[in-house]
Chains A and B, each alone.
Chain A
Amino acid sequence: MRVFPMLIFAVLTVTLVFILNTKMLLPAPLGALLSPQHGVWQNAEPADQDFSADFKFDALQGKADVYFDDRLVPHVFAEVETDAYFIQGYLHARFRLWQMDLQTLSAAGRASEVVGDIALSHDREFRRLGMVFAAEQSLKLMDADPVTKSVCDAYTAGVNAYINSLTASTLPLEYKLIGYKPGLWSNLKTALFLKYMSYDLAAHESDFEMTNAKNYFNPQDFKLLYPAIQDSLDPIIPKGTVFAPPGINLTVPADADSVYFASQVTAEELDKPDPENGSNNWAVSGTKTQTGAPILCNDPHLGLNLPSLWYEMQISTPTFNAYGATFPGAPNVIIGFNDSCAFGFTNGGRDVRDYYEIKFKDESRQEYWFDSSWRKTDFRYEEILIAGKPAFMDTVAYTVFGPVMYDKSFGGKRSTSHKNYAVRWKAHDPSNELLIFNGLNHAKNYKDYEAAVVHLRTPGQNCVFACKNGDIAIRTQGEWPAKWKGQGDFVMPGTDSRYMWQGMIPDVETPYQYNPDRGFVSSANQRPVDSTYPYYLGREYPSPRGLIINRRLAEMNAITPEQMMALQTDNYNVFAEMAVPVFLRSIDTTVLSRTELNYFALLQQWNLRNDVHSKATTVFVNTWDNFMQAVFADEFAKAPKPTAFPQESTLLEAVLRDTAYKFLDNVNTAQIETLRDISTQAFKEAINKLAPADVGDALEWANYKGTGVYHLTKIPSFSRLNLPIGGGKNIINAARDNHGPSWRMVVSLTQETQAYGIYPGGQSGNPGSKYYDTFISDWAEGKYYTLWMMKKAEEKDSRVKWTMHFEKS
């Protein structure tokens, strides 16, 4: 034995193994990562992967078969309904575990556990918004309902059956790359996932922006900048509908004018959910279709990610047979159809998140002033675990309104203010949204639909419905706070119960339409009703998509599903239809250079469609953005931050009404600028920026816009970027940069249902699978797949590629 060299090489070997087995080189141990029998190579799914398998689980009560078609869509046939949820959980985990786990960790404010302290601010924000508190509240209600409890228990058992089967080799790719392991699923995680959707859809507000704007502008200007209703509004429930007098008598606090509307508070806050989270849905009755059967259409616009938010499947049990888009993280079909009817959603978008300024007695935050006395604070202690660092303890004060989100210890991005703001969020109230989907999956007629959707509290949705018996309907469903005019637009005083929400709008007053004479119902996130509705609904609703959808549907007759697909993917820009003539009239062509005139000609000849190859769209969008800036930037320059510019429609309608709109003038110059000056300036600036970039096809709309579907980690090689798709903001085909139609569905309710759908993703969440992003190119092109509502007898059909058998062990 040669001790010395042996020792050297022993130390060298051990050191090398140690380095390769720790996270020194990469977030994950490189040796384990590249070992062909453990690491990423194990996630290289063979192109001819056989997904067939036989499983035995104790938790099952009977037998079930799952048939996968050529798009890897599972068709689940279970003898016992709860077994179907077990299998749904199992399949969600089998194909999408990492995203479900990550989204619920993020919802719970636990992202730091995985990615370290870069997520601490996010985690604190979510804990302080009360996400876990809200999920716990809902879970109590879910547990109390025997149906929901059994559904969730089966679902959770299914997810965990898969998690427990995982080994170091079979762990999903992202766990290996980031270097962590999944925790077990629970019903609380399902509740957290649903609150995550509530955050995405029902957490948007601009209380701080509006508070700042209100303080900065005089009341007349404020009204001009932020009108409650747009001229172009075509509400979901048509104008002229007569509403019953309100069931709740609201009392505006007597001192509202002095204490509330005139109060001076400034504040800043953190990131927000995307305000463009919206959608289109509509249903046309048989009187307007070629076959005489109703057609229902829905395309929810959400953040576009890989793996997709949606997972397509059919669930068939002795009690129901449903097909559609499901949420990995929750049981049942969410948007889809069954043997009798079809259902879909768009976001209600009302303001259900308000802030109250809290006055604590002292630094200890033990007591706060409320209704002329000191009241005791409750505390919730949030321990935030951080990868590689000691845990962070956050003590969150809870008041009668809800958690104190912003205070001295958590200012968000506030620079100066040390004020305390409690948040009252509708999602804090217990609710059991799973009953809706369970009810809709079983629904046979309008009555069943109505009974199902009333369970929807938050996030409130416009629920569209169509049935084989010919019924169509839409309900602007949700549990909405009954607000007096202006309530919750601004930060409210937290010392006074009179400023609290005084009640919820009674469900019987929910605006709805059932088989209307016009032969269709539709929604596109516009204001649900006109100003005659007896409750205050806030002021932030987009109008253009609703306008064009209603116009098109009114014109159409003898409609076919193909025409509905064409409508869902329509790139017509109704906003430009109103705005381009303004520019063409007002831009002063005598001062344009030869180059600028060439681009002006593009605008003149534009067919008003945001098509893939349209250069004019790029010119218009840039001109409009500059126009907004030129009109408002001077007035807003000195306003306290944050503020929000008025809505685009507000400016457009103002200049359509009045070419001498007062904000057109640049307050920083001596002369008075006119519409002509400002639009010419905006156009010149746009061309100044665009002309040098006009190389090859760079200015063609799809290239310029750059729609992409990002992997949740943003790793570019796991993403699909720069897709050839038109559309955009205000367009029915609402594909923006990383946001857009996340599931397109057209269902014709003929005797034998004819259904079509597609989402920008693929059935497998594994970036190493060829089923990872299979649908994206077809989605961008506007193609649809036939959705096959399989019958058990078709198990020998050539479309069935793989079969999984499940039975009780």
Chain B
Amino acid sequence: MKFITSIFITALLSFAACLFLPWWTIAIAAFMVSFFIPQPPLRSFLSGFTALFLLWALLSFVLSYNNEHLLAHKVSVVIIKTDSPFLLILATALIGGIVAGLASLTAAFARKPR
């Protein structure tokens, strides 16, 4: 339950922060959630990772879908050298996931062990 809650709150907090603040506030959001809802390190990492992986995958997919993937086709060639909207969405999701996962992991170790 904690796992699901963490994912949900991390995603929500990250989304809210990025409405006004730079992209890297997702790390702070993930850190805080993991700090206040303590979980073992691996679970912490996974909840942070999953939250942002899903959030960024979903957001970029919806934007791209509404755009009929026009931009993703063009930009994927520039950024990942392959014409693949799917891979660009995956790269986006992975970047969000890893940054948030690491931040959550850091927070997990910052707590006193129970």
Contact = CB atoms under 8 A, between A and B. Distances in A.
Given A2-B109, A16-B98, A17-B99, A37 B75 contact: no
Nearest to B76: A717
Interface in A1-48: 1-2, 5-6, 9-10, 12-13, 16-17, 20-21, 26, 30-48
Contact of B59 (A6, A36, A43): A36
A38 B106 CA distance: 25
B95 A31 contact: yes
Q: Interface of chain B, helix or strand or loop or mixed? A: helix
Interface in B63-114: 63-64, 66-68, 70-75, 77-79, 83, 88, 91-92, 95-96, 98-99, 102-103, 105-106, 109-113
Contacts of A17: 24, 27, 99
B19 interface: yes
B23 A41 contact: no
B102 A34 contact: no
Contact of B71 (A16, A26, A40): A40
B56 interface: yes
B99 A16 contact: yes
A229 interface: no
B106 A10 contact: yes
A767 B71 contact: yes
Interface residues of B, number: 43
A717 B91 contact: no
A160 B81 CA distance: 35
A1 B91 contact: no
A12 B79 CA distance: 24
Contacts of A43: 71
A770 interface: yes
B73 to A, nearest CB: 7
Contacts of A770: 68, 70
B74 A13 contact: no
B110 A6 contact: yes
A168 B21 CA distance: 10
Interface string B10-35: 00000100110011100100010000
A715 interface: yes
A177 interface: yes
A31 B24 contact: yes
Contact of A37 (B15, B67, B71, B111): B15
A6 B64 CA distance: 37
A718 interface: yes
A17 B92 CA distance: 14
Contacts of B106: 6, 9-10, 12-13
A784 B52 CA distance: 48
A768 interface: yes
B47 interface: no
A32 B95 CA distance: 10
A9 B78 contact: no
B92 A717 contact: no
B60 interface: yes
Nearest to B15: A37
A1 B68 contact: no
A141 to B, nearest CB: 42
Contact of B96 (A10, A13, A35, A768): A35
B63 A36 contact: yes
A32 B22 CA distance: 8
Contacts of B59: 36-37, 41
B95 A34 contact: yes
Nearest to A13: B102
B95 A30 contact: yes
Interface in A315-363: none
A1 B24 contact: no
Contact of A44 (B66, B78, B79, B111): B66
A35 B77 contact: no
A13 B106 CA distance: 8
A2 B40 CA distance: 12
B59 to A, nearest CB: 4
Contacts of B41: 5
B34 to A, nearest CB: 11
Contacts of A26: 79
Nearest to A29: B23
A255 to B, nearest CB: 60
B71 A717 contact: no
A46 B68 CA distance: 8
A722 to B, nearest CB: 16
Contacts of B15: 37
B35 to A, nearest CB: 11
Of A26, A36, A38, the most chain B CB neighbours within 10 A belong to A36
Contact of A31 (B23, B63, B71): B23
Contacts of A47: 66-68, 70
Contact of B95 (A12, A20, A767, A769): A20
B105 A38 contact: no
Contacts of A173: 71, 75
B63 A34 contact: no
A40 B75 contact: yes
Contacts of B60: 34, 36, 41
A41 B92 contact: yes
A32 B68 CA distance: 22
Given A38-B18, A177-B78, 8 more contacts: A31-B23, A31-B95, A32-B22, A35-B56, A37-B19, A46-B66, A173-B71, A715-B78
Interface of B: 15, 18-19, 22-24, 27, 31, 41, 56, 59-60, 63-64, 66-68, 70-75, 77-79, 83, 88, 91-92, 95-96, 98-99, 102-103, 105-106, 109-113
7 contacts: A6-B109, A21-B24, A26-B79, A34-B79, A37-B59, A717-B78, A718-B78
The 6 closest A-B pairs by CB, nearest first: A768-B71, A35-B23, A36-B59, A6-B109, A44-B67, A717-B77
